[in-house]
């Protein structure tokens, strides 16, 4: 797909500095771009690349001021990263395959009605009483259990398993190998030291516009529902336990684990490998650094990191103290020797 810088700028409500007729036919990172590529500059630490990039055009903020000559055409927009995301989604919508129909062998239970534009890949299984909207894409080797509800424009990539009774909203995307609705980890200790399994009779509800990465697991509730609210984005290899609620527009990076019955508010950002204890609450608009441990409830509008997690500035100070700990220990030993010698 080829487009001129002028045409692209019109699409994104941008303004141009440089050659508006330059042709763009690909996308690339600023340090790897070649002639014909569109790239972007959103993070200031990459600014030095803009003076040497071979890209034909670069998305920059409207207030960007170049300190040296820039050979590439600049397309000035409010938010380069958001603009690039919009463009890539547009290109993907044009170029991505849109399979339709039912491949064989696959199994669709009697009475299940496929919505308009549906696709069912080979070796997929669709259970009794499944309801689905239009433009649902079920790729090969997907399992959809009895009574599952799928909204419009849902995509289940190869190997996804949706256990019985779970509900998935509109425009959701679930990547390969993810399991939704497996049993929560409910085990009752017995007097003889053994454990009795507690039946998990709830479901999982995933609201609209949720994306879930590969090999993530979301457990069904013991009773009631585990709920992933609208707009949530989960990375690969995440564990969400039974009866957890994840609030709107919350994002979690890979290997986050959330224990049972924890309630998470909206617009939170979790770094990779964050561990969250069970039966606590986390408010809204928090930023939680990678590998943090969250043993207790957290309010709103906080930036925390560490295990146990503490405010980010305090954590930074502690890191400085830790680096100086060896010198401080030596200083104390020296002082003790001086005191002993003079006593």
CA 280 from chain centre, in angstroms, equals 22
**Residue 230 contacts residue 169 (beta carbons within 8 Å):** yes
Mean of the per-residue pLDDT values of the chain: 95
- Which pLDDT score, from 0 to 100, does residue 20 have? 95
pLDDT of residue 1 exceeding 80: no
Give per-residue pLDDT as tens, 151-165.
Answer: 999 999 999 999 999
Give per-residue pLDDT as tens, 163-199.
Answer: 999 999 999 999 999 999 999 999 999 999 999 999 9
- Which pLDDT score, from 0 to 100, does residue 324 have? 87
Are 42 and 73 part of one and the same domain? yes
Give per-residue pLDDT as tens, 295-343.
Answer: 999 999 999 999 999 999 999 998 888 888 888 888 888 898 888 888 7
What pTM was computed for the model? 0.89
Average pLDDT over residues 201-215: 98
pLDDT of residue 91 exceeding 90: no
Give per-residue pLDDT as tens, 122-132.
Answer: 999 999 999 99
For the chain, the domain total comes to 2
Are 21 and 114 part of one and the same domain? no
Are 82 and 16 part of one and the same domain? yes
Are 309 and 178 part of one and the same domain? yes
Are 118 and 258 part of one and the same domain? yes
**Residues spanned by the domain of 265:** 101-314
What's the pLDDT band for 48 if we cut at 50, 70, 90?
A: very high
* Cis peptide bond upstream of 308, omega within 30: yes
Give per-residue pLDDT as tens, 229-272.
Answer: 999 999 999 999 999 999 999 999 999 999 999 999 999 999 99
- Domain final residue pick, 95, 125, 154: 95
pLDDT of residue 150 exceeding 80: yes
Q: Which CATH number is 281's domain given?
A: 2.160.10.10
Are 276 and 168 part of one and the same domain? yes
HEC per residue, the chain: CCEEHHHHHHHHCCEEECCCCCEECEECCCCCCCCCEEEECCCHHHHHHHHCCCCCEEEEECCCCCCCCCCCEEEEECCHHHHHHHHHHHHHHHHCCCCCEECCCCEECCCCCCCCCCEECCCCEECCCCEECCCCEECCCCEECCCCEECCCCEECCCCEECCCCEECCCCEECCCCEEEECCCCEEECCCCCEEECCCCCEEEECCCCEECCCCEEECCCCCEEEECCCCEECCCCEECCCCEECCCCEECCCCEECCCCEECCCCEECCCCEECCCCEECCCCEECCCCEECCCECCCCEEECCCCEEHHHHHHHHHHHHCHHHHHHHHHHHHHHHHHHC
Q: Which CATH number is 34's domain given?
A: 3.40.1390.10
* Dist CA 35 CA 22 (whole Å): 10
Are 81 and 206 part of one and the same domain? no
Query: Residue 89 domain-assigned?
Result: yes
* Dist CA 219 CA 278 (whole Å): 14
Percent of the chain beyond pLDDT 90?
88
- Which pLDDT score, from 0 to 100, does residue 261 have? 98
Are 86 and 140 part of one and the same domain? no
pLDDT of residue 97 exceeding 80: no
Query: Residue 129 domain-assigned?
Result: yes
Catalytic (active site) residue 242: yes
**Catalytic member of 48, 164, 242, 279:** 242
Percent of the chain beyond pLDDT 70?
100
What's the pLDDT band for 103 if we cut at 50, 70, 90?
A: very high
Are 69 and 181 part of one and the same domain? no
Are 35 and 86 part of one and the same domain? yes
Strand partners, 148: none
Query: Residue 290 domain-assigned?
Result: yes
């Amino acid at each position: 797909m080829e487009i001129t810088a002028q045409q692209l700028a019109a699409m994104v409500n941008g303004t141009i500095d440089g050659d508006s007729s330059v042709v763009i036919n690909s996308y690339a990172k600023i340090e790897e771009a070649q002639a014909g590529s569109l790239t972007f500059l959103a993070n200031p630490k990459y600014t030095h690349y803009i003076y040497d990039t071979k890209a034909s055009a670069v998305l920059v903020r409207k207030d960007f001021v170049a300190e040296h000559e820039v050979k590439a055409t600049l397309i000035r927009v409010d938010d380069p990263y958001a603009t690039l995301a919009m463009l890539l989604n547009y290109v993907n919508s044009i170029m991505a395959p849109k399979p339709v129909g039912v491949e064989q062998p696959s199994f669709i239970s009697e009475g299940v009605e496929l919505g308009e534009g549906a696709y069912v890949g080979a070796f997929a299984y669709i259970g009794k009483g499944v309801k689905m909207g239009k433009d649902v894409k079920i790729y090969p080797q997907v399992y959809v259990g009895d009574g599952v509800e799928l909204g419009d424009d849902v995509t289940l990539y190869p190997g996804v398993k949706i256990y019985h009774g779970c509900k998935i909203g509109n425009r959701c995307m679930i990547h390969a190998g993810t399991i939704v609705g497996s049993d929560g980890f409910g085990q009752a200790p017995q007097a003889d030291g053994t454990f009795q399994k507690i039946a998990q009779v709830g479901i999982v509800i995933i609201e609209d516009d949720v994306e879930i990465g590969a090999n993530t697991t979301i457990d069904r509730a013991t009773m009631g529902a585990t709920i992933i609210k609208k707009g949530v984005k989960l990375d690969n290899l995440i564990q969400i336990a039974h009866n957890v609620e994840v609030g709107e527009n919350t994002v979690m990076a890979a290997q986050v684990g959330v224990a049972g019955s924890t309630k998470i508010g909206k617009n939170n950002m979790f770094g990779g490998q964050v561990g969250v204890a069970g039966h606590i609450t986390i408010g809204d608009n928090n930023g939680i650094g990678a590998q943090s441990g969250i043993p207790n409830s957290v309010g709103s509008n906080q930036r925390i990191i560490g295990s146990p997690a503490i405010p980010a500035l305090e954590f930074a100070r502690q890191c400085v103290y830790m680096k100086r700990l060896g010198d401080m220990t030596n200083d104390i030993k020296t002082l003790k020797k001086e005191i002993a010698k003079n006593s």
